[in-house]
């Protein structure tokens, strides 16, 4: 089974990180770097950076992924019987992440109304650990890539649902307006006398860049050529096959290191979680 440890190994050993090497030969990928970054991440997990035949790449994807995502619903792809991956492309290395109508997730649940039915039915699952893969692409080059588990990045869903439901309840308590059914915060129908104008009320969520969130662990270095940073809870890291852990730990390249750290629990910062900090930084 593919996993984040294999993906890290593949990225470290991949020397080219330009747009020309971020995916297939789609003629418009230069205008869709977000899609190119998603393809780069799929290739990282599957080890298909050098597979030029698109049919062969698709075959390998099908073997390893149960869901390959769509433009409107999270996640971007899911490992078969493994983790879910949400890819976020940013243009500035310290930019906050725009999550739009979907609040940050510590885990991905099959009951989440924001996911597509095809994702819900693609395999038998109740919840998956989710990896946020945040890539900063400058022009055509991948400069920074952070891979963070949601369990150490985002609070439990109740934290966000409480705010969302309170706002929605308040909106729906406004008198003398007609409300419609919606998955958003609210919808007001026929606002004007002619009854031809509707109002959609939706949340626009964002979350701080992990470079800021985890600055107490890894101070920002803005003059690097490339950085790959991953933080994995030890309970998760130790569950991976020993073969995968050994392969990662035996990497001997300048700028690569693995260290034991403690990170703040997103639900209670007074609690510290044991984790592995994996970084590959090229100055």
pLDDT score recorded for residue 33: 61
- The answer to whether the peptide bond before residue 149 is cis (omega within 30 degrees of 0) is no
> Residue 183: pLDDT above 90?
no
What is the rounded distance in angstroms from the CA atom of residue 135 to the CA atom of residue 209?
10
What is the rounded distance in angstroms from the CA atom of residue 45 to the CA atom of residue 215?
26
Would you place residue 209 in the very low, low, confident or very high pLDDT band (cuts 50, 70, 90)?
Answer: very high
List own/partner pairs for 257-266 with CB under 8 A and 24 or more apart: 260/234, 261/217, 261/231, 263/152, 263/214, 263/217, 263/231, 265/152, 266/106, 266/151, 266/152, 266/153, 266/154, 266/155
What is the rounded distance in angstroms from the CA atom of residue 186 to the CA atom of residue 177?
12
Query: Mean of the pLDDT values across residues 259-279?
Result: 98
> 94-135, pLDDT tens digit by residue?
999 999 888 999 999 999 988 999 999 999 999 999 999 999
Which is more confidently placed, 24 or 261?
261
> Residue 214: pLDDT above 90?
yes
What is the rounded distance in angstroms from the CA atom of residue 7 to the CA atom of residue 245?
12
Spell out the domain ranges in the chain.
4-156+204-282
Return mean pLDDT, the chain.
90
> Residue 155: pLDDT above 90?
yes
Closest CA to 163 of 91, 107, 113, 103: 103
List own/partner pairs for 15-20 with CB under 8 A and 24 or more apart: 16/49, 17/141, 17/142, 17/226, 18/140, 18/141, 18/142, 19/137, 19/139, 19/140, 19/141, 20/140
> 7-48, pLDDT tens digit by residue?
999 999 998 776 555 544 443 443 356 688 999 999 999 999
Closest CA to 115 of 102, 100, 133, 98: 102
pLDDT score recorded for residue 126: 97
Q: At what angle do helices 242-249 and 4-13 cross, to 10 degrees?
A: 30
| Dihedral class, residue 63 (left if φ above 0, else alpha if ψ from -120 to 50, else beta) | alpha
88: number of Cβ within 10 Å: 20
Which is more confidently placed, 26 or 268?
268
């Amino acid at each position: 089974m593919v996993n984040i440890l294999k993906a890290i190994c593949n990225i470290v050993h991949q020397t080219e990180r330009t747009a020309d090497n971020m995916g297939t030969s789609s003629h418009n990928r230069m205008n869709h770097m977000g899609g190119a970054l998603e393809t780069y991440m799929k290739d990282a997990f599957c080890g298909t950076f050098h597979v030029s035949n698109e049919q062969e790449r698709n075959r390998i994807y099908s073997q390893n992924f149960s869901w390959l995502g769509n433009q409107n619903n999270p996640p971007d792809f899911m490992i078969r019987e493994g983790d879910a991956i949400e890819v976020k492309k940013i243009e500035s290395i310290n930019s906050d992440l725009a999550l739009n109508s979907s609040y940050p997730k510590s885990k991905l649940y099959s009951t989440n109304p924001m996911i597509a039915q095809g994702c819900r039915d693609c395999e038998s699952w109740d919840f998956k650990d989710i990896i946020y893969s945040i890539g900063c692409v400058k022009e055509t080059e991948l400069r920074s890539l952070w891979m963070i588990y949601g369990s150490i990045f985002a609070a439990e869903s109740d934290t966000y649902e409480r705010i969302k439901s309170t706002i929605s309840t308040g909106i729906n308590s406004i008198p003398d307006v007609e409300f419609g059914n919606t998955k958003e915060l609210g919808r007001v129908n026929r606002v004007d006398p002619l009854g031809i104008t509707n109002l959609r009320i939706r949340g626009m969520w964002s979350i701080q860049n992990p470079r800021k969130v985890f600055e107490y662990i890894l101070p920002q270095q803005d003059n690097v050529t490339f950085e790959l940073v991953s933080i994995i809870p030890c309970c998760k890291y130790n569950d991976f096959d020993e073969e995968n852990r050994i392969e990662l730990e035996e990497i001997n390249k300048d700028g690569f290191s693995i260290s034991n750290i403690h990170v703040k629990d997103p639900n209670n910062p007074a609690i510290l979680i044991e984790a592995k900090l994996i970084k590959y930084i090229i100055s």
